[in-house]
């Protein structure tokens, strides 16, 4: 199972930037407008939400960060930031999910593959608590259109993931720690994509099933970074998902009530601009 280079590069860029970018907007203005580097990561995750098969990957890829006033490629993904105040931020961003080939997933054997998913749409972030050295708390509400790339492009519905995010930094931003709690909801189309079994794909061990819109999963996780020196950063994350109470927990394709993902890696910056971020404001 191959990792799409664009999505993998975004992952590495996000991990590198999370260690580099301070939370204070005034401090962010002193950062380079762009940075380029190379990263490596090892990842393990469910093949799809609720799968009992896993996907394990190792990545070595270049990454690029850009901290423009509007256009950005940073720890939040690739997109456009349209509003940024002390409390509220509104942007349009992109994210993605990796493919799963049905030959590698016992529950889906004989069914169509799950292709590369690209998600894009608006997101509102509200920063409602600042605890000083103990960190900051914000709420996020993204709404994403889901596009599948498999033999062409096709729309696969909508998702939204309201979540709470707490972040803190220490030792002069040498290390960062972030924790989040959220829930992912999908319309009927994306739930069908993951969990519906059409009659022609039914088997004695996999009954036909009609999927409904609603809750996909509840997710919590922590991630952290450590800056070894100005050019080298280490990062890691652990994420736990619960599918109990999901709209399609009776689907024969939803095999587990929980799932975990984890990853570790490093990012090395070999070039950066002399021009600071937002210097064109």
CA angle 203, 188, 44 (to 5 degrees): 70
Instruction: Give the residue with greater pLDDT, 71 vs 1.
Output: 71
Q: Is the separation of the CB atoms in 43 and 56 below 8 Å?
A: yes
* pLDDT interval class at 253 (50, 70, 90): very high
pLDDT at 19: 44
* pLDDT interval class at 74 (50, 70, 90): low
Other Cβ atoms closer than 10 A to 82: 11
Q: Is the separation of the CB atoms in 270 and 38 below 8 Å?
A: yes
Q: Phi/psi at 173 (nearest 5 deg)?
A: 65, 20
Percent of the chain topping pLDDT 90: 46
pLDDT at 3: 40
Whether pLDDT at 4 is above 50:
no
Residue 263 in any domain: the answer is yes
Write the pLDDT tens digit of every residue in 173-210: 789 999 999 999 999 999 999 999 999 999 999 999 99
Residue 117 in any domain: the answer is yes
Residue 150 in any domain: the answer is yes
CA angle 96, 102, 104 (to 5 degrees): 95
pLDDT at 213: 97
For residue 264, the enclosing domain spans 5-272
Residue 257 in any domain: the answer is yes
Mean pLDDT, residues 134-149: 91
pLDDT at 145: 94
SS3 string, the chain, reads CCCCHHHHHHHHHHHHHHHHCCCCHHHHCCCECEEEEEEEEEEEEECCCCCCCEEEEEEEEEEEEEECCCEEEECCEEEEEEEECCCEEEEEEEEEECCECHHHCHHHCCCCCECEEEEEEEEEEEEEEECHHHCEEEEEEEEEEEEEECCCEEEEEEEECCEEEEEEEECCCCEEEEEEEEEEEECHHHHHHHHCECHHHCECCECCECCCCEEEEEEEEEEEEEEEECCEEEEEEEEEEECCCCCCCCCCCCCCCEEEEEEEEEEEEEEECCCECCCCC
Euclidean distance between CA atoms 202 and 212, whole angstroms? 18
pLDDT at 84: 64
Residue 279 in any domain: the answer is no
pLDDT at 20: 46
Q: How many folded domains does the chain comprise?
A: 1
The rounded mean pLDDT for the chain is 83
pTM as predicted:
0.83
Which residue has tokens 């260690």?
19
Instruction: Give the residue with greater pLDDT, 265 vs 277.
Output: 265
* pLDDT interval class at 77 (50, 70, 90): low
Highest mean pLDDT among 37-41, 70-74, 168-172, 252-256: 252-256
Residue 91 in any domain: the answer is yes
Residue 277 in any domain: the answer is no
Euclidean distance between CA atoms 75 and 87, whole angstroms? 19
Instruction: Give the residue with greater pLDDT, 242 vs 265.
Output: 242
pLDDT at 99: 80
CATH number at residue 215: 2.40.160.40
Residue 36 in any domain: the answer is yes
Whether pLDDT at 6 is above 50:
no
């Amino acid at each position: 199972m191959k990792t799409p280079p664009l999505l993998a590069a975004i992952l590495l860029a996000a991990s590198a930037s999370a260690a580099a970018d301070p939370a204070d907007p005034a401090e962010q203005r002193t950062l380079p407008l762009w940075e380029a580097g190379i990263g490596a990561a090892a990842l393990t995750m469910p093949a799809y939400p609720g799968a009992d098969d896993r996907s394990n990957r190792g990545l070595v890829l270049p990454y690029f960060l850009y901290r423009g006033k509007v256009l950005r490629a940073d720890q939040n993904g690739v997109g456009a930031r349209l509003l940024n105040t002390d409390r509220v931020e509104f942007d349009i961003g992109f994210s993605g999910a990796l493919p799963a080939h049905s030959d590698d997933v016992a529950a889906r054997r004989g069914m169509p593959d799950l292709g590369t998913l690209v998600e894009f749409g608006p997101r509102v972030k509200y920063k409602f608590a600042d605890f000083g050295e103990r960190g900051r708390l914000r709420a996020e509400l993204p709404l994403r259109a889901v596009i599948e790339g498999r033999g062409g492009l096709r729309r696969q519905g909508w998702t939204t993931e309201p979540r709470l995010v707490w972040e803190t930094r220490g030792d002069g931003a040498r290390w960062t720690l972030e924790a989040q709690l959220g829930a992912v909801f999908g319309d009927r189309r994306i739930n069908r994509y993951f969990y519906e079994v059409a009659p022609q794909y039914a088997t004695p061990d996999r009954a036909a099933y009609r999927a409904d819109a609603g809750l996909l999963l509840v997710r919590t996780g922590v991630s952290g970074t450590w800056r070894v020196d100005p050019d080298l950063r280490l990062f890691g994350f652990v994420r736990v998902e619960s599918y109990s109470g999901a709209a399609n927990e009776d689907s024969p394709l939803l095999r587990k009530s929980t799932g975990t993902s984890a990853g570790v890696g490093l990012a090395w910056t070999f070039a950066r601009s002399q021009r600071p971020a937002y210097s064109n404001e």
